[in-house]
């Protein structure tokens, strides 16, 4: 059980998910919630991280901060490894010392995207990009160093606080674009941070440690996602389906992305956690919230 005076540290507060986690915790009546970002603590500085966590002595650390710019990551792999992998190790080690629970947010990009079946939690991690490989390493460090962990893989995230695909599509429409080429053969699930933050808060109130997949329900392509965004926004933008192969010719120098990003929710079901709402419902609530 977690009492309402539990000390909860949330990294990535200025990002999409961290912001919603802090708000959800506050809404639930937790009185000792601290949201931090890089201005408060650079998570790549080992001694600073360990000192900060030791001084704060949290009961829970929700670790949302990461390098999330997938294409840019290819240019600076060492820096991205420091943020996504090593920083997660420092936090896990500090949590072990403080006897704290830790949530580590991971990604569908830890998988290689082969086949059409949903990935199970124990499928091999064979990321195709610097982002995917470093996030997988972060998972490994957390598993090795701390038993009291929740590793939550999510995908295609959108939240109120930060940049994402939905905002990018709306910006293009507002700039007067009437036709766009969007990838149609990468299939996965979108995730509204408001919904995910509720599930993460449910998790930390238990001792059901382990690895989970958590996204809004339904498998779609980016092209289908874009069409629904424009439909809800009342924008008349034609979305042309293009394959990943075609898209790379139009926009070269991108990180490799998995074609199959379907994630199985079996471990979520087995542990008795609720699934997140259907994606269209999530998107429509999100768009009303940001308009
Ligand atoms: N976005 C997605 O589509 C997606 C998909 C799957 C999984 N995830 C995972 O979900 C989690 C949350 O994603 P998000 O979209 O909410 O992320 P986000 O909006 O990009 O926020 C990440 C935050 O981490 C901070 N950060 C970066 N480097 C740091 C450092 N060295 N020390 C301290 N803070 C640092 C960033 O600060 P600055 O902005 O100042 O750099 C930013 O506020 C991440 O772990 C991500 O890997 C995201």
In this prediction, residues 177-195 reach a mean pLDDT of 97
Per-residue tokens: 241: 């389906």
State which of 49, 64, 72, 131 you would mutate to test the pocket of ligand 1, scoring each by most atoms of that ligand within 8 A of its C-beta.
64
State which of 13, 42, 66, 79 you would mutate to test the pocket of ligand 1, scoring each by most atoms of that ligand within 8 A of its C-beta.
66
- Kind and range of the H or E run holding 61: strand 60-63
Closest ligand 1 atom to 161 CA? 19
In the chain, domain spans: 7-164+190-217+262-277
In this prediction, residues 199-208 reach a mean pLDDT of 98
Neighbour tally for 178: CB within 10 Å: 10
Tokens 């429509």 map to which residue? 284
Statement: residue 253 has pLDDT above 80: no
Report the length, in residues, of the chain: 291
**For residue 274, what pLDDT band results from cuts at 50, 70 and 90?**
very high
Cα–Cα distance, 214 to 107 (Å, whole number): 10
Record: fold of 7-164+190-217+262-277:
Rossmann fold (3.40.50)
Statement: residue 184 has pLDDT above 80: yes
Per-residue tokens: 181: 């080429």
Q: What share of the chain in percent tops pLDDT 70?
A: 100
Query: Over the stretch 52-68, which tens digit does the pLDDT of each residue have?
Result: 999 999 999 999 999 99
In this prediction, residues 162-170 reach a mean pLDDT of 96
Q: State the helix-helix crossing angle for 87-98 and 130-145, rounded to 10 degrees.
A: 20
**Contact in structure between 71 and 109 (CB atoms under 8 Å):** no
The model's pTM: 0.97
Lowest mean pLDDT among 104-108, 149-153, 160-164, 272-276: 160-164
Which amino acids bring their CB within 6 angstroms of ligand 1? 12, 14-18, 37-38, 42-44, 64-68, 83, 105, 107, 135, 154-157, 162
DSSP class of residue 291 equals -
Closest ligand 1 atom to 42 CA? 32
The tally of CA atoms less than 13 A away on the side-chain side of residue 172 is 18
Lowest mean pLDDT among 147-151, 220-224, 244-248: 244-248
**Contact in structure between 73 and 129 (CB atoms under 8 Å):** yes
Per-residue tokens: 161: 């606080």
Statement: residue 1 has pLDDT above 90: no
Atom 29 of ligand 1, nearest CA residue:
38
- Kind and range of the H or E run holding 282: helix 279-290
Statement: residue 200 has pLDDT above 90: yes
Per-residue tokens: 4: 């309402």
| Residues designated as active site | 131
Closest ligand 1 atom to 109 CA? 6
Q: What share of the chain in percent tops pLDDT 90?
A: 96
Atom 21 of ligand 1, nearest CA residue:
15
Closest ligand 1 atom to 156 CA? 3
Per-residue tokens: 75: 């240019």
Rounded to the nearest whole angstrom, what is the distance from the C-alpha of residue 67 to the centroid of ligand 1?
Answer: 5
Cβ burial 206-234 (10 Å sphere, 16+ → b, else e): eeebebbbbbbeebbbbbbbbbbbbebbe
Position 133 scores a pLDDT of: 98
Query: Over the stretch 88-116, which tens digit does the pLDDT of each residue have?
Result: 999 999 999 999 999 999 999 999 999 99
Mean pLDDT across the chain, nearest whole number? 97
């Amino acid at each position: 059980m977690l009492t309402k005076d539990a000390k909860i540290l949330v990294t990535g507060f200025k990002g999409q998910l961290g912001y919603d986690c802090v708000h959800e915790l506050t809404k639930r009546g937790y009185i000792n919630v601290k949201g931090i970002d890089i201005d408060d603590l650079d998570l790549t500085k080992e001694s600073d991280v360990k000192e900060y966590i030791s001084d704060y002595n949290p009961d829970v650390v929700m670790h949302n901060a990461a390098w999330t710019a997938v294409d840019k990551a290819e240019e600076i792999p060492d820096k991205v490894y420091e943020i996504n992998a090593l920083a997660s190790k420092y936090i896990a080690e500090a949590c072990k010392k403080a006897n704290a629970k830790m949530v580590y947010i991971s990604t569908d990009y830890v998988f290689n995207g082969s086949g059409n079946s949903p990935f199970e939690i124990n499928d091999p991690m064979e990321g195709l990009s610097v982002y995917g490989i470093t996030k997988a390493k972060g998972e490994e460090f957390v598993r090795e160093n701390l038993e009291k962990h929740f590793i939550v893989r999510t995908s295609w995230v959108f939240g109120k606080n930060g940049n994402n695909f939905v905002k990018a599509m709306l910006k293009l429409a507002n700039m007067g674009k009437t036709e766009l080429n969007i990838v149609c053969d990468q299939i996965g699930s979108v995730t509204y941070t408001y919904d995910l933050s509720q599930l993460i808060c449910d998790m930390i109130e238990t001792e059901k440690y382990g690895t989970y997949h958590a996204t809004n329900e339904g498998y779609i392509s980016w092209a289908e996602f874009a069409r629904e965004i424009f439909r809800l926004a009342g924008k008349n933008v034609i979305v042309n389906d293009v394959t990943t192969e075609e898209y790379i010719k139009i926009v070269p120098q991108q990180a490799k992305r998995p074609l199959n990003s379907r994630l199985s929710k079996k471990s979520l079901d087995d542990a008795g956690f609720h699934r997140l709402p259907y994606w269209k419902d999530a998107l429509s609530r999100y768009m009303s919230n940001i308009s």
